[in-house]
Structure 1
Amino acid sequence: MLFYDFEVFKYDWVVVITNTEYQSEEVIVNNEQALIDFYNEHKTDIWVGYNSRHYDQYILKAIICGFTPQEINEWIIVKKEPGWKFYKDFWKIQLFNFDVMTNKFRSLKQLEGFQGHDIRESSVDFTIDSELTSSQVDEVIKYCRHDVHETMHIFMETITEFESQIELLKMFNLPLKNISKTKAQLSAFILDAKQPKVPRNDEFDFSFPNTLRIDKYKEVLNFYMENKDYKKVFETEIAGVHHIFAWGGLHGARSNYYGTGCFLNIDVASYYPALMIEYGYLSRNVKNPDKFREIRDRRLEYKAAKDKRQAPLKIVINGTYGAMKDKYNGLYDPLMANNVCIGGMTLLLDLIEKLEPHCDIIQSNTDGVLVKLRHCDDYELIDDICHEWEQRTHMELEFEEFTKVIQKDVNNYIIVDADGNYKSKGSYVKHLSPLDNDLPIVNEAIVNYFVKGIDPEETIFNCKDLIKFQKIVKVSNKYDYARYGRKRMNERVFRVFASVDKNDHTLSKVKNGSSEKIPYVPERCFIENGDIKKMEVPGKLDYWWYLDLAVDRINAFLGDDK
């Protein structure tokens, strides 16, 4: 397996390639033939990069095809054109490329920052209008090598993505070249889905499920029947809760809700795939719809047996709906995508309508509803209502019991069970991973307060790990540069900490000469872009800034404007 990264300048280019099998490294600078020879020796290996699906693979292919890296770099970076459009024969070059980038809104530097790693930039300007000096080449190699090693870290953090994709290829006897495909592309390929030569033009000719029974909230059905504009939403009160119905889902929640008692979280199992199977809502481009059902059923068998082979099948099952809205995918069928989404929303509304007289709706979303029982012994009554809905709609419901709910809104909540275990959703309270580790001490303080009754001051002031106080900031290309105090910064990504030192400054972003404050960044901060994994809190850290932020967010959950 090879990990690789390109750096391209006006007159120079560098690639660093690490071979994990032999623990060796290849560094190539401005030597097209050396790269071509290396490629020919390793064309059967898997090449792994970050954003390599959209960038690095095309730099490599361009060099192999006789183009300069600068030509394709300008095409992708400056003109913002997709690499595959640059040359029609790129597809003929065998390259088993696997891209570890799972979130296109996160740069490699941001992910490095979340992990506490060194995120200092190279001092060599990528827009430099001259050939690189030998010392500049050395620095670029060091920088490029660092990014390759960081790509390896991210690969290990997300290795289940790779393992699932490899296992999927094995299950369906697919050639290794398919490792380069996205999940949606794999879904279309496995299901043998191909778009018709003549477009259907029936996107809004959807129909409601024939099992639907809506008596009270018919205005929701009228909204979809009368509206053909994806930008419009319908807002109404359902079961005493404000709801929003859109073309991508529904959500409703009691704002600033805090309650204890007997709660049931009722989710529809594998909702969208079940709708495609039971109501014929699968893309009409699929040659054999029974194959989709077979894959779904096999995955459920594996899941029940706790067999890890369920994970790759989940790729096909869950990737299908999104692909039905992608006009470049073989599964593209917007009518069926609308049938799935509208059918799912209205059937869930059907369930809410039946539950409403017998329990309190706390929140609902696209595939489930959270309710509070008025009497804890009402469980069997609710179960009977749900059973009737399951039998009629051919869907399956899953139940979880909780004893406490702390809810800011539908996207931010904590639910706690009788044993003190909890689930959370939302940037303020979610479980943070090494790849989204932003202001972790604040999340920890909020959860500790609501779940364990620990004062946020205790959580924050007792913590000595600097990484828990980090805020990772990215200044996008919409802005000209970042400024720290009066100093113009070359970097775009920063790791900042609140400071009590009067010699520290404000970090701002600048556009057309005007500076703008960066959200959730303290007025006075210090920047530490080096490796901080083992660093302890310095004396100048402003603990009170983090405490104030935690208290503000706690109050946001409670609806307290203090």
Structure 2
Amino acid sequence: MLIFYDYEVFKYDWLVVIKDPENKIETVIINDSEKLKKFHQEHENCIWVGYNNNHYDQWIHKSILCDINPYEISDMIINKGVPGWKASRLFRQIKMFNYDVMIRGDGGLKSLEGFMGSNIKESDVDFNIQRKLTQAEIDETIKYCRHDVEETMEVFLNRQSDFNAQLQLCKLPTQKMNLSYLSKSKAQMAGIILEARKKIYHDEFDLDFPDTLKIEKYAQVLDFYKNQENRDYSKSLKTEIAGVPHIYAWGGVHGAKPQYFGEGYFINMDVTSLYPSLMIQYGLLSRSIKDPRKFKEIYDTRVKYKHEGNPLQAPLKIVINSTYGAMKDKNNPLYDPRQANRVCIYGQLLLTDLIEKLEPYCEITQSNTDGVLVKLRSEDDFDLIDDIAWEWEKRTHLSLEFTEFKRVYQKDVNNYVMIGTDGHVKTKGAYVKKLNPLDNNLPILNTALVNYFVNNIPVEDTINDCDDLEQFQLIAKLSSKYKYLLLNGEILNERCVRAFASKKDTDGGLLKVHCVTGRPAKFPNSPEKCFIFNDNIKNVKAPEYLDKQWYIDMAKKRLKQFGVS
């Protein structure tokens, strides 16, 4: 059973709101450790779901169960930066299965609440209050905490596939469910499942090169990695490959024709599971793995499950895709930087090999870590290109997947729109990516740009025809470097706000005030005149004073970055 929870901790008070959605029961516990102990005992086999609970809430919970002052633990975690697990060995004795819906790069629960269109107003109760809370303050805090629990539940629903995959991962090490693995990261689980044992290596830059490699024209790339002076992560090679500026570095390669637009017959060639395939075909798995054959078994099983449409492919994909990153993590038992470097370099060189073979017969438009986009001179050249790709596949023991496109708009290698020959659309980059409830900043701009590129609809039409206020939202979240936000000379209570462009002359810009210097600065990419709407914004109609021209100007500015005048 899943239960969702969130703690609020003050110097002289604490409270927790716990929701059991299956039985529709809410439990609120205030300053009552005995009640909490009883509740925990009754629910110790449940999965406790929270937001950032791996790093915060579970340690508050355990401290109360161990009769340790939760405020001291909270202060240690928040203000002193000490991990909660270091506070007491007693915590290890508490049985508790935690699952954290937070992922790296979220920006905090309030940002996600903003993206989802929810109320993002902060509590009026000061968390630094130096006395017991009044009943009114407790009631306000319960309301605030309940809201965060409900929002955590919404985040969970939007990421339920992640939870389902993690739950399946908990079975893989021993073929029996072990819920203690729920709190492990994907990379940690990869190490456990592959039975890695941490070892110390001193050969990080001891490189070799694939014996299947055939590079002639672009030998400067191979020479760069052969040069001992370049065995340094700060070094990179800037060079032109097939008429396209490229950058080769220790983390990957990328190249693209900037501000490119083309129509015709394009083929995007992606190497199937490049890094896992290199590890298997060239023996580049971490040397800390007990039996490398297990990785191949997982890989082959995942391919089989994917072909069958079996959902069990998802947890296996996590293991496969997490292994490379874990090989670069000093704290992971899979850590093996030499093998990780070889995987990366092998991939770059073999991709350059492919480009070199393709170049005489087509136009190279872009390349990245695991693929290349080419424009054919004619559809009649497909068999020729296919033969070149087939020779490369047979020689390198890697596989290519072809996707056909008829139109390409490209700002750079990380920002593009491609329209497929079958009408499907592929987008990448902040300006044109497909947004979702947990990533929904200035959505009207993305919609306007994609409508322009795909359907030739002027950005003015998309923006002027929309009256859904949520589509115009800019979620502005302060980092820890800043004290507070200012609007029209007033300090805002919230550190995360939902801002909109305003026509009103009385409205000013959104400013952030630096903690050290005290200097105000305009919030990046925000309008010169703003209004704030932090209530629930679902189905709210845009007011007349919403400045749609600001959004039109922003859309056109972004189009220019794609080379569209």
Q: Where on the TM-score scale, by shorter chain, does this alignment land: which range?
A: over 0.9
Distance 1:91 1:206 in 2: 42
- Residues 169 and 189 of structure 2 are in contact (CA less than 8 Å); yes or no, is this contact kept in structure 1? no
Distance 1:281 1:309, change over 3 A: same
- Give matches, 1:83-482, under 5 Å: 83-171=84-172, 172-196=175-199, 199-225=200-226, 226=228, 227-482=230-485
Distance 1:206 1:105 in 2: 36
- Matched with 2:17 is 16
- Matched with 2:547 is 542
Distance 1:112 1:168 in 2: 28
- Matched with 1:521 is 526
AA at the equivalent of 1:308: P
AA at the equivalent of 1:17: I
Mapped pair 1:62 → 2:63: yes
Distance 1:347 1:19 in 2: 53
Deviations 1:466-522 (A, max 9, x none): 100101000111011111111011210000110101222211001132110111110
- Matched with 1:29 is 30
Distance 1:341 1:232 in 2: 15
Distance 1:66 1:93 in 2: 13
- Residues 253 and 368 of structure 2 are in contact (CA less than 8 Å); yes or no, is this contact kept in structure 1? yes
Deviations 1:148-191 (A, max 9, x none): 00000000001000111122334532412111211111111111
Distance 2:86 2:379 in 1: 61
- Matched with 1:558 is 563
Distance 2:212 2:82 in 1: 46
Bigger Cα displacement from structure 2, 181-190 vs 213-222:
213-222
AA at the equivalent of 2:287: R
Distance 1:223 1:87 in 2: 50
TM-score with structure 1 setting the length = 0.97
Unaligned segments of structure 1, at least 5 residues: none
Distance 1:229 1:481 in 2: 40
Distance 1:131 1:559 in 2: 61
Bigger Cα displacement from structure 2, 440-449 vs 199-208:
199-208
Deviations 1:72-120 (A, max 9, x none): 1112111112222333453332211011112344210000000110000
Residue 140 of structure 1: SS of its match in structure 2?
helix
Deviations 1:391-450 (A, max 9, x none): 111111100000000000011100001233210000000000011111111111111111
- Aligned pairs, number: 558
- Residues 420 and 451 of structure 1 are in contact (CA less than 8 Å); yes or no, is this contact kept in structure 2? no
Residue 295 of structure 1: SS of its match in structure 2?
helix
Of 485, 490, 503 in structure 2, the residue corresponding to residue 487 of structure 1 is 490
AA at the equivalent of 2:188: Q
- Matched with 1:39 is 40
Residue 500 of structure 2: SS of its match in structure 1?
strand
Superposition deviation, residue 71 in structure 1:
1.6
Residue 532 of structure 1: SS of its match in structure 2?
coil
Distance 1:453 1:245 in 2: 36
Bigger Cα displacement from structure 2, 231-240 vs 43-52:
231-240
Q: CA RMSD in A?
A: 1.3
TM-score with structure 2 setting the length = 0.97
Residue 94 of structure 1: SS of its match in structure 2?
coil
Unaligned segments of structure 2, at least 5 residues: none
Residue 163 of structure 1: SS of its match in structure 2?
helix
Residue 186 of structure 1: SS of its match in structure 2?
helix
Residue 243 of structure 1: SS of its match in structure 2?
strand
Distance 1:498 1:24 in 2: 42
- Residues 266 and 374 of structure 2 are in contact (CA less than 8 Å); yes or no, is this contact kept in structure 1? yes
Identity %: 55
